[in-house]
Amino acid sequence: MLYPILKRVLDVLGAGFGLLLFLPAGIVIALVIKVSDGGPVFYGQVRVGRHGKPFKIWKFRSMVPNADRVGVAITQGADPRITRIGRWLRGTKMDELPQLWNVFVGEMSLVGPRPEVPQYVALYTETQREILEQRPGITDVASLSFRDEEALLAGASDVEGFYVKYCLPRKIALNREYQAQASLVGDLGVVARTLGLMMSRVTRRRAESPYRAGDHHPAGDREGPGAVHPAPRVAVVGAGEAGRRLADRFLDAGDVEVVAFFDDDAHAWHGVHRGVPVVGMPECLLNATWKQRVDAVGLALEGDSGGRAEELKRTFEAAGFTIATRDGVREKVGSP
């Protein structure tokens, strides 16, 4: 096939140009990292590459030295191991720039499934291992959907368990979906979207996501049992037409605050309806950060033939949430 050949040509040309283009910025970043704490500039970690072959991926170091020896491989927003400069590097994705070298030498591609650490790859099913037939990439469709991954993981009691159970399968599914119809034009589109996201984050103080789980929301945080809020705070699970209709009923009534949408479809994430953002997967509501910001959950899934709504209803009720319907939210949750 012609596509793999053209893809490799794009990788070599793109990585070579990128290394030259970002060299001045890379030198400045390296100096800042070195001066900040005297530790190493780069961080190398073993990941699993094409055909299951391990290789060392390179990043600008964004955490304290030896951070991998004092914690899990997955980080969440408030991870104390992240340095001050590292937080900016991660937010802008500038810490990934050294991976252009991995691409240039053929260990990675510009676009491909993000490589995982060996302990997570060991959990792959036989079907999931099919993505190892592809050369791993600096960016992919899953990276774009999960661009606020640290915020999604914020407040998880077991961040590694949450990642493996809820995030990893969705990432693999997105990559398998993309690879089924991958093309050079599609790759260029993913690269363009990634560069656009990076530039928006470099030039703005905050990420473009209108609301992250770690931000302070106008409704305020729960201060304890019986805390008073301006209005009951509802999260709507389902960002499709049914979810938007349910949210509209709440918003038009004016006495219920819709704080966010959640949806199983990662393609719907980062959208906005009437100023309310689509944040991520429904299970994020189980994390402490969101449990402090939501009083009730409205379920409005499209075409639920597999009993997903009932499964989520049981899950959220077990977690202590009220299930919100069109009427009676204030009576169930309480009013100020």
- SS3 track for 33-56: HHHHHCCCCEEEEEEECHHHCEEE
pLDDT band at 202 (very low <50, low <70, confident <90, very high): confident
Each as own residue / partner, the long-range contacts of residues 80-88 (CB below 8 Å, 24 or more positions apart, any chain) are: 83/33, 83/36, 83/37, 84/36, 85/29, 85/32, 85/33, 85/36, 86/61, 86/62, 87/62
Residue 331, pLDDT above cutoff 70: no
Given pLDDT bands bounded at 50, 70 and 90, which one contains residue 216? very low
Reported as a single tens digit per residue, the pLDDT across 239-254 is 999 999 999 998 998 8
Residue written as token pair 């094409």: 50
Of 73, 46, 216, whose CA–CA distance to 149 is shortest? 73
| Model confidence at 206: pLDDT above 80 | no
Per-residue pLDDT at 328: 47
In the structure, what pLDDT confidence band is assigned to residue 285 with cuts at 50, 70 and 90?
very high
- Average pLDDT of span 77-101: 89
Question: pLDDT band at residue 173, thresholds of 50, 70 and 90?
Answer: very high
Spell out the domain ranges in the chain.
Answer: 2-203, 233-333
Q: Is the pLDDT of residue 335 over 60?
A: no
> What is residue 155's predicted lDDT score, i.e. its pLDDT?
86
Banded pLDDT at 191 (limits 50, 70, 90) = very high
Whether the CB-CB separation of 278 and 269 falls below 8 Å is answered with yes
What pLDDT, on a 0 to 100 scale, did the predictor assign at position 209? 44
Q: Which CATH class is domain 233-333?
A: alpha beta
Residue 283 has pLDDT above 80, yes or no: yes
Angle separating helix axes 23-37 and 2-21, nearest 10 degrees:
60
pTM equals: 0.84
d(CA 18, CA 16): 5
pLDDT > 90 fraction of the chain, expressed in percent and rounded: 67
Give the residue with greater pLDDT, 73 vs 269.
Answer: 269
- Report the percent of the chain where pLDDT is more than 70: 86
Residue 220 has pLDDT above 90, yes or no: no
What is the mean predicted confidence (pLDDT) over 306-320?
90
The model's confidence at residue 231, banded by pLDDT at 50, 70 and 90, is: confident
pLDDT tens-digit series, residues 135-154? 999 999 999 999 988 888 88
SS3 244: helix
Q: What is the pLDDT of residue 77?
A: 60
Residues 206-233, mean pLDDT to the nearest whole number: 50
Residue for token digits 């219920």? Answer: 256
The structure tokens listed for 10 are 């794009």
Position 222 pLDDT exceeds 70: no
Tokens (6 digits) for 293: 């910001």
